Structure 1
Amino acid sequence: MPLISLTTDFGDLYPAAMKAVILGINPMVQIIDITHSIRQAGIREGAFALYSLVRYFPQGTVHIGVIDPGVGTSRRALAIKAGRAGEEQFFIGPDNGLLIPAARCFGEMEVYEITNSELMLKSGISATFHGRDIFAPAGAHLSKGTPIEAVGPEISDFVNLDFENFGIDGPFLVGEVIFADNFGNIITNIPEEVVLKFSTFGSQIEVNGRRISFVQTYGFVRPEESLALIGSHGFLEIAVNKGNASRQFGLKNGDEVAIKIM
């Protein structure tokens, strides 16, 4: 059974319209919601949500991501094929960097601009809802086996986005918060291999001047105690055992974070 995943900042109501369009084109597809709770216009958060999950989907999955503050402007609509032959996954969404980190997980990548009106909603294109009128139908057609080359021309000047804008400054690892989850855990863009190069489990680190333990998992510290760990996504995470680190540390998506190695 073909799969389509959806990742948006739409909250309620609007995802249902996308699903209706998809099922009208391919009633055999299974639709999986990654999340519709991304902060409004939170492109980097949405990119991280996709990035952290896509490798667990089977080959052939079509991922539709719509966090699109540029909807209705000259920004382009993209379709991406990523992965080796026979193992490809597909990504549909706006040209604002949202899809790129997830697609790059699979190595090889071909990027196309969606210009073929035959793959868009037949009743017309709204200036404010390309999720329903362009991305949903294009994704549905790909899930039925339409070759990606049919969507439009291949391009190379797409908007890039990555999570690698961290740095090392003496004893400090300096990065940013790329996602704060529903538990209040703070996920940084500092990767596991960098942290473990300078620190070991059981040691102490400082987060924005506050000393905490660097451990393997939450239960290694007392309830309400702060900690740092490597999350399941492979990045350094700041947490509070049975508490909310985002509130305690006053950190939110996009904030700079400085980790001092003790």
Structure 2
Amino acid sequence: MSVITLTTDFGTLYPASMKGAILSINPDATIVDISHSVPPIDIRAGAFAIYSVVRHFPPGTIHVGVIDPGVGTDRKAIIVRAGDQCFVGPDNGLLIPGARLLGEFQVYEIQDGILPESISSTFHGRDIFAPAAAHLSAGRDVQEIASKTDDYVDLDFSGYTIEKQFIEAIVVYVDDFGNIITNIPAEKLLDKIEPGTILSVSGRQMPFMKIYSDVPKWGIVALVGSHGFFEISVNQGSASRLLHLTNGNSIRIGIMGSL
């Protein structure tokens, strides 16, 4: 069984064409949708969506990611091989955090020889990335369809600050529950604060706890989510709506002391 995952900002219509392109080459492929509701052209959010799931897929999985504001330009189309998995998409940093999570990785530029004769200038997800993933899933080696390169666009989730009295971070993803997921990894945060610490954001105080229900219904709480990053949540509510924060926003959090 060959597993191909899809992560895009395409919404409801366009992913079907990608699936058709894959199945036309490898009818036995198993296609798993990660998300098609990544905010439009939000590369960081798309990278986080891929990053958050890769460890849960079996060896041989191929992850196709298409958040591609540079579609039709001279940006490269790439395959990244990391561990026992591959990542296919545009060279804009989207694939790198998930690949890096799996360990050492190699980047390859997709060659013209495996591509359709007619390629849309606006839909490389269907005409380049889906066929490349399908060929890999059908057993072709990466080096048959792509050439190794050391020239690629990097992306990581850095850009946060943790000081004695405050934290500065970036919102990398707001999930469907309205949880605000920041770019601070758990291990960096837990070096500085411990459960029970009181934090403050936008004039609202909240405890840093372990689970959502450590605060009453509608209460605001900070914790480490299942993805391993610091998040701000509202128990049975939306932190994003309450705090008027969304993907890409900068956030400053005060460290007030312990309970």
Contact 1:116/1:150 (8 A) holds in 2: no
Residue matched to 2:111:
115
* CA RMSD, Structure 1 to Structure 2 (Å): 1.1
> Where do 5+ consecutive residues of structure 1 fail to align?
none
Give the equivalent residue in structure 2 for 1:143.
Answer: 137
Q: Does 1:94 align with 2:96?
A: no
Verify the 8 A CA contact 1:205 1:261 in the aligned structure 2: yes
Provide the rounded CA distance (Å) in 1 between the counterparts of 2:52 and 2:214.
24
Match of 1:14 in 2: 14
How far apart are the structure 2 equivalents of 1:212 and 1:168? 17
Q: Which aligned pairs between 1:90-239 and structure 2 lie closer than 5 A?
A: 90-117=86-113, 119-122=114-117, 124-239=118-233
Once residues 110 and 116 of structure 1 are traced to their aligned partners in structure 2, the CA distance between those partners, rounded to angstroms, is: 19
Cα contact 1:185–1:238 (8 A) shared by 2: yes
Mapped partners of 1:5, 1:112: distance in 2: 19
Structure 1 residue 259 displacement after superposition: 2.2
The answer to whether the Cα contact below 8 Å between 1:198 and 1:261 also exists between their aligned partners in 2 is no
Displacement of 1:170 in angstroms is 4.0
CA distance in 1, matches of 2:193, 2:69: 39
Mean CA deviation greater in 167-176 or 8-17: 167-176
Percent sequence identity is 54
Cα distance between partner residues in 1 of 2:176 and 2:31 = 23
Between the aligned partners of 1:220 and 1:168, the Cα distance in structure 2 is: 24
AA partner of residue 141 (structure 2)? P
Instruction: For residue 225 of structure 1, report the CA deviation from its aligned partner.
Output: 0.8
Q: TM-score, normalised by structure 1?
A: 0.95
User: Secondary structure of the equivalent of 1:198?
Assistant: coil
**Contact residue 186 and residue 239 of structure 1 kept, 8 A:** yes
Asked whether the equivalents of residues 93 and 99 of structure 1 are also in contact (C-alpha less than 8 Å), the reply is yes
Q: Report the equivalent of 1:42.
A: 42
Report the CA distance between 1:169 and its aligned residue: 3.8
Distance 1:148 1:209 in 2: 52
Distance 1:19 1:47 in 2: 21
Mapped contact 1:82–1:107 kept (Cα < 8 A):
yes
Any stretches of 5+ residues in structure 2 without a counterpart? none
Aligned residues: 256
> Is the aligned partner of 1:80 residue 2:74?
no
What is the Cα deviation at residue 205 of structure 1?
1.1
The corresponding residue for 2:67 is 67
| AA aligned opposite 1:16 | A
Q: Deviations over 1:175-197 (max 9, x none)?
A: 10000011110000111112212
Stretches (4+) displaced over 6 A: none
